Amino acid sequence: MNGTRKPVHLAVYDTLADWETGHATAHLARAGYPVHTVGPTTDSVTSIGGLRVQPDLALAGLRPEDSSLLVLPGADLWDAGDDLAPFARTARSFLDAGVPVAAICGATAGLAREGLLDDRAHTSAISFYLAATGYAGGERYVEADAVTDGGLVTAGPTEPVAFAREVLGLLGVYEGEVLDAWYRLFHDSDPQAYAVLEKAGAA
């Protein structure tokens, strides 16, 4: 594996939805991307499933130039106040620097509040969930499992596999027929897809 890849940074915070990013981070790690966790501080956080995570890095120390991708999972905290707003502001700095961001579930609402979805095609759990943020991007909402527009991936909470598909495609981990087969295997349990992945050395 390529040991020179910049890390992928996975945001972690209390109430994070721990099922939403596992497909993406596991396959990024297998492709040679170190996965580093970044929290509000380096104090441990607890996911919605009760998993305790010790962040590798505090958000204040994260720089876009040191990263391949920022992944923002959903969390109850996205809709409970402004505690996670600094992560949305960091997403802005990443996108401004040309470094991709992937947001799923409640994190999409955080990006909407930050104005990052006003001019980009995007999706989420449902359109009126984002509309409740008062954002100006309603006309750019797409009814799809996951959407990539430039360097931004968005998805709703029921689409962790589609979310991962977009992330893996964006970073070039899998492409074309292989990416499609990966999705069919993990989303549809299609046994024929495994043969495609095995032939490509991606199984």
**DSSP3 helix / strand / coil % (the chain, rounded to 5):** 40, 15, 45
| Residue 22 known to be catalytic | no
Phi/psi class of residue 189: alpha, beta or left (left: φ > 0; alpha: ψ in -120 to 50)?
left
In the chain, the amino acid numbered 15 is T
Residue count (the chain): 203
Whether residue 114 contacts residue 90, with contact meaning beta carbons closer than 8 Å, is answered with no
Whether residue 125 contacts residue 109, with contact meaning beta carbons closer than 8 Å, is answered with no
Find the catalytic residue in 72, 105, 116, 173.
105
| CA distances from residue 136 to 55, 60, 115, 126, 165 in whole angstroms, order as listed | 33, 28, 8, 15, 27
Q: Which residues are catalytic?
A: 105
